[in-house]
Amino acid sequence: MKIYIDGKFYSERDAKISVFDHGLLYGDGIFEGIRAYHGCVFKLKEHIDRLFYSAKAILLEIPMSPEKVSGAVIETCRANKIRDGYIRLLVTRGKGTLGLNPKSCSRPSVIIIAGKIQLYPQELYARGMDIVTVPTVRNLHSALNPAIKSLNYLNNILAKIEANNAGVEEAVMLNAEGFVSECTGDNLFIIKKGELLTPPLSAGALYGITRQTVMELAQQAGMKVSEPNLTRYDLFNADECFLTGTGAEIMPVIKIDGRIIGTGKPGKLTRKLVQDYHALTQRSGDPI
């Protein structure tokens, strides 16, 4: 595997950053997870745009233009002969001092890793997933805005630990008001009486690119789509439920906190959206 670091490629063994990099010391940085399908990078512009939005929010000056970052992503895929895979794009604050002041960091670092990913066991996509609600609350907008895809994922990791302790793969996170926010790394959707519903961004949900894609596919299929505040009660009484994410794609959910969702099997409309999503990935993207 060849890793891109600040304009050069390194072998996996030789790819290194400084122990004084504030991305390592303090989680001071941002990232994007991107997918490649059939020799094309899917939704590359949307991911690069979101990366630069996150950078602006934390006053991080990416030392490359959006066009050059996009080119580096494609170049890294080519260097690793990736046709179907996962790309992790990171920008750290860079090497600084042991103090947390970002002014001590002279230049941010851009790192790109292109490889494979399998977030969940393959059989769950056919059978559906069990999830639970966990005590860890989603970050407040006034603390660390969930819209920022920062390298500090401890909030999500704590929730993932609680999911693991409960014997499941994924967790529902609520916000401080008790409304459903998202899962540890995925957006959450329910279907009720043919309508697609997902928590609003104001509830702490990430502006997911797969989330937006699925909403558009649902509208094209004639479904009504809305973003109301949702409670656990709404989840329990949904006809169908699924998760979305770049790595996860679309994952059906069949049980939440011990309550069976719908028929206890991936629903008809969920399966339709999965088909439409896979069809879309086969015909769009930036060529590698």
C-alpha to C-alpha distance for 162 and 134, rounded to whole angstroms: 6
Residue 144 is predicted with a pLDDT of: 87
User: What predicted TM-score, i.e. pTM, was given to this entire model?
Assistant: 0.94
Domain edges within the chain: 2-115, 123-281
What is the C-alpha separation between 278 and 256, in angstroms, rounded?
A: 26
Query: What is d(CA 67, CA 73) in angstroms, rounded to the nearest whole number?
Result: 10
The two three-digit tokens of residue 247, written as one number = 């790595």
CA–CA dist 145, 153 (Å, integer):
12
User: Active-site positions?
Assistant: 149
Cα–Cα distance measured from residue 92 to residue 108, given in angstroms and rounded to the nearest whole number: 5
**Coil, helix or strand at residue 9:** strand
- How far is the C-alpha of 192 from the C-alpha of 270, rounded, in Å? 12
Q: Which two tokens stand for residue 68?
A: 């050059």
Residues in the chain: 288
- Predicted local confidence at residue 67, as pLDDT: 98
pLDDT tens digits, one per residue of 135-149: 999 998 888 888 999
- For domain 123-281, the CATH architecture is Alpha-Beta Barrel (3.20)
- Tell me the per-residue pLDDT of 102-161, one tens digit each, with 9 for 90 and over: 999 999 999 999 998 888 989 999 999 999 999 999 998 888 888 999 999 999 999 999
> Domain 2-115, CATH 3.40.50.10420 — does that match?
no
